[in-house]
Chain A
Amino acid sequence: MDLHSEMILEEYRQALPVLEDMEQKVLVALREMLDRNELIVTAIEGRVKTEKSLAGKLALKGGKYSSLRDITDIVGARIVTYYTDDVDRIASMAEQQFVIDWDNSVDKRRLHQLDSFGYNSLHYVCRLPGFDFPFELQLRTTLQHAWAAINHDTGYKSGIEIPKEYMRRMNRLAGMLEMADDEFSRIRTEINDYRRRVQKLVQNGKLDDVLLDGDTFRSYLQAKPLDALNRRIAAINQAEIQEAPLMGYLRVLKALKCNTLGDVSRLIKQYEEDAYLLARHQLGNTDLDIISSAVGLQNICVVCILSSGGGKIGLERLFDALNGHNSQNAALAEMTFAQAETLPFMR
């Protein structure tokens, strides 16, 4: 190694604590930036170039750098995203957050010719206020990251130049992963469009057009269709209402032959009065002043099962679906049946 490179290495040794401090501050800034924008990513990672790696770089092209400050990737950070669209979103956030050295930044995704495939990442050379050194921010998708990691492992580790045939096969995979990345993004966009359409149908009350599934049921529950019934039940003992998850009822509603949100809405309307009467009968002579927000839907399902002749076995199946199968459910069904036996809907 020549004297100039030795001087840069010595500069590195002196600056190492500052570089390590900067790496940590960069990671904190990136995490805060993503949190502010509510963006979830696969990984955020950082590193300060090791002395060995720097020495290797200087041995190859030491003359290119006049000082340590010219080495743009001396500190590196990487964000690995789920979706290719998120790479561009984060790039835009980084442009607001840091000063970008555009002359040294490169979008490797755009460097490819129409007929070539390979390494795809966005590299920004950035500056963090308060530090003299630049850092490199790499943005790539999980699939691009997997390709780059495996390509690095197979291509460089052995120190032997690999035959073109293997490079062609790696690049073919890069092309395939690019298609997969695009498809993942398209699927996400279409799912979001579907959710928006469903929410609109729910808001407009066109519930018969919406098939009952996890997504649509969640949207429906956001409209709080059981609030009025729960408030009536709570009023029996001036009880407080504790929020409870209702998604477990999806399976029950399907078993009760609800195929659309319209069916669920009709089921609620049909049985809410009897569900209230059941709650009044159960709670009226107690001093229980706390209920969960599941009680309304629970009682609707109980009433629906009992009034359609499902009996104790039907109730046991309901509790199996809600609690998981266990020996307590038969006793719970027996007890609920006995409580409901004298109510009008059982006649």
Chain B
Amino acid sequence: MKTEIIKNANQVIAKFSGRLDTAAAVQTAEDVQPLQEVSNSEIILDCSDLEYISSSGLRIFLSIRKDAAAHGSKVIVSNINADIRQVFMMTGFISLFEIR
């Protein structure tokens, strides 16, 4: 599992690659910590290379969303594959995130 943070002018992109499962969650939670300092920006969680997400991964996304809301930022989940889309649907997370 790999997480890359790319900062642009009005946007911060967190690009996830691999399987975000329980084993990868601890490292990923550390990797996304720079997002906590982002304020008044759009945070894109780019999932184009994310193969799988578990409950632990959903909790990381949720925590990014909470921090972002507290700092006036907005989180967008982009390019999710069919399996992850299904997870978002089944858990009702599509009501928590803007999905593009």
User: Residues on A close to B: CB < 8 A?
Assistant: 239, 242, 244-246, 248, 279, 282-283, 286-296, 298, 319, 322-324, 326, 328, 331-332, 335-336, 339
Nearest neighbor of A233 in chain B, beta-carbon distance: B92
Q: Are B85 and A294 in contact (CB under 8 A)?
A: no
Number of residues from B at the complex interface, CB < 8 A: 21
Which 10 residue pairs are nearest across A and B when measured between Cβ atoms? A295-B92, A294-B95, A292-B92, A282-B90, A294-B92, A244-B95, A291-B91, A290-B55, A289-B55, A244-B96
Answer yes or no: B23 CB below 8 A from chain A CBs: no
**Which residues from A are CB-within-8-Å of B99?**
323, 326, 328
Q: Given A283-B90, A331-B82, A332-B89, 11 more contacts at CB 8 Å?
A: A246-B95, A248-B95, A287-B55, A294-B94, A295-B90, A295-B91, A298-B92, A322-B94, A323-B98, A332-B94, A335-B86
Closest Cβ of chain B: how far from A296's Cβ, in Å? 8
Bound form: Cα–Cα A314–B91 in Å: 20
Closest Cβ of chain B: how far from A32's Cβ, in Å? 23
Nearest neighbor of B90 in chain A, beta-carbon distance: A282
User: Residues on B close to A: CB < 8 A?
Assistant: 54-55, 58-59, 62, 80, 82, 85-87, 89-96, 98-100
Bound form: Cα–Cα A339–B86 in Å: 10
**Which residues from B are CB-within-8-Å of A319?**
94
Closest Cβ of chain B: how far from A241's Cβ, in Å? 9
**Which residues from B are CB-within-8-Å of A244?**
92, 95-96
Q: Are B54 and A287 in contact (CB under 8 A)?
A: yes
Nearest neighbor of A295 in chain B, beta-carbon distance: B92
**Which residues from B are CB-within-8-Å of A328?**
80, 85, 99-100
Bound form: Cα–Cα A196–B54 in Å: 44
Nearest neighbor of B91 in chain A, beta-carbon distance: A291
Q: Are B55 and A288 in contact (CB under 8 A)?
A: yes
Q: Are A290 and B85 in contact (CB under 8 A)?
A: no
Closest Cβ of chain B: how far from A39's Cβ, in Å? 24
**Which residues from B are CB-within-8-Å of A295?**
90-92
Q: Are B95 and A291 in contact (CB under 8 A)?
A: no
Q: Are B94 and A335 in contact (CB under 8 A)?
A: no
**Which residues from B are CB-within-8-Å of A283?**
90-91
Query: Given contacts A326-B100, A328-B85, are A245 and B92 in contact (CB under 8 A)?
Result: no
Closest Cβ of chain A: how far from B75's Cβ, in Å? 14
Bound form: Cα–Cα A328–B88 in Å: 12
Q: Are B59 and A245 in contact (CB under 8 A)?
A: no
